[in-house]
Amino acid sequence: MRYAVRALGWATKILWILIIVFSVASVYSAMNVRMGFGQPQAFLSSGFMVISVPLFVNNTGLYDLSELNMTVSVMDYNESLLSTSTTFVPSIPRGSSIETAHNISMNLDDITSKLLDYLFNDTVFNLDMSLKLNFAHSIPFEVSTNMTMPWGAPLYNFSIGQISYNFLNLTHQEAIIPISFENHSPYFGVDGFMRVEIYNDNGELLGSSVSDLNVPSHSSYDSQVETIVDVSKVTGSGEARFYFETSAFSFGPMVMPYG
Amino acid sequence: MVEKGQTKTFARKFVPRIIKAALLVVITYLPFYFLSAFIEPFQSFFPWYAPTTNLFAAVFMIFLVVGVFTSGTIYQYVFGVARALVTMIFFIYVLNGGIVTLAVPVEGTSVNVMVDLTVILAMLVLVCLLGIGKNVVQAIDFVSAKVEMKEL
């Protein structure tokens, strides 16, 4: 009986020492893990807008980190999912560091087809971010947060002014259409072409023209489009149809009445 | 003369126990004190920590003192088992069954932190169970030794 008591006493003491040493070493190691995010960069790649967030982890602690899993879900104001992305790092051994990038990609065609509002109205996206990892192969750790990301419309406040006509000859006139919008997008410029088609009240095509667009982020576009129209078809009112072909998105027609 | 002898016996019996109990209380209180000082800057994240720990420390020390004063009786082991049980319940409660969650406000947004300390909790529970087992075995040993003494 005495031996059993003595064995139990020693087992208790050894286990207490193990727990204390492991706890202290874990806290010390956790304090020596440096983790951070770099400056996010946005770029366009074959119809996708990619937001790349550099991630670095420097593990100078005593234990390995494993199964690092970072997930970011982007949702719009209706809570409908736009994109989910995951970055997985199988292992970060002690005394080593990793540098990787977490890429969040959004199909711009999907965005424009589903939610045309994004081209013309500023909004806010909700970001659900979570980072999971296994500490010392025994302590799962998770950090999660919910953030909002402002979305700037690339064609914010798109509007046409009063159409004016320049006399050319008895059959044709030059229609001048003032166009203005602001590129509120912090992520990309509006670079490409804009095609304009002018229709009269009867739905007949009066004329069309193509203009270059080169509107960087956070800048405004204020210009005019000239097109030759048939005088006999001009009715004074009708609609203008706009088609956009840019490096970031393709969209059209956007119909705006005039007159 | 008899009164003087009784006082001497009482002093011989209880003064060492009082000193031992006082020493054990001081030694037991030290980790609580240092842990509280360590936790102090993060107090706002663990508002439940201080009251729970103070209550646990008080109950633990009462059982410790009573255990010292009842040493040499079966109650010493009864209080030993109670102490181990209280410790086990405290760890399970404080570590929320092994899953510790915190909401840390960072620049206006709330960051949720979750740590799964099931492994550490399992080790702590195992230590407490070993403590209970040890006290039970000691109690059996104590009773059997008493019976043997009686038979002799």
What CATH number did the domain enclosing A41 receive? 2.60.40.10
Mark yes or no for CB contact A139/B116 under 8 Å: yes
Q: Could you tell me if A82 and A111 are in contact, meaning their C-beta atoms sit under 8 angstroms apart? A: yes
Amino acid at A133: L
pTM: 0.73
* Count of structural domains, chain A: 3
Query: Does A136 share its domain with A38?
Result: yes
Query: Does A139 share its domain with A181?
Result: no
Q: With a CB-CB cutoff of 8 Å, which residues 94-153 of chain A face chain B?
A: 138-147
Query: Does A26 share its domain with A39?
Result: no
- Give the domain ranges of chain B: 2-151
Query: Does A59 share its domain with A22?
Result: no
Per-residue pLDDT tens digits for A16-37? 999 999 988 998 998 888 888 7
Query: Does A213 share its domain with A230?
Result: yes
Give the end-to-end CA distance of chain B in Å, rounded to a whole number.
34
CA distance A103 to chain B (A): 21
Per-residue pLDDT tens digits for B128-150? 999 999 999 999 999 998 888 88
- Residue A246's Cβ-count burial label (10 Å; 0-12, 13-18, 19+) is buried
pLDDT band per the 50, 70, 90 thresholds, residue B124: very high
d(CA A163, CA A177): 5
Instruction: Quote ipTM for the complex.
Output: 0.79
Residues of chain B neighbouring A141 (CB-CB closer than 8 A): 113-116
Residue B1 has pLDDT above 60, yes or no: no
Which residue range is the domain that position A108 belongs to?
Answer: 34-150
Query: Does A44 share its domain with A144?
Result: yes
B109, B112, B131: residue with CB nearest A12: B131
d(CA A178, CA A161): 5
Per-residue pLDDT tens digits for B58-117? 888 888 888 888 888 899 899 999 989 999 998 898 888 999 888 888 777 888 999 999
Query: Of B138, B146, B147, B148, which to mutate for an interface test with A (greatest number of A Cβ within 10 Å)?
Result: B138
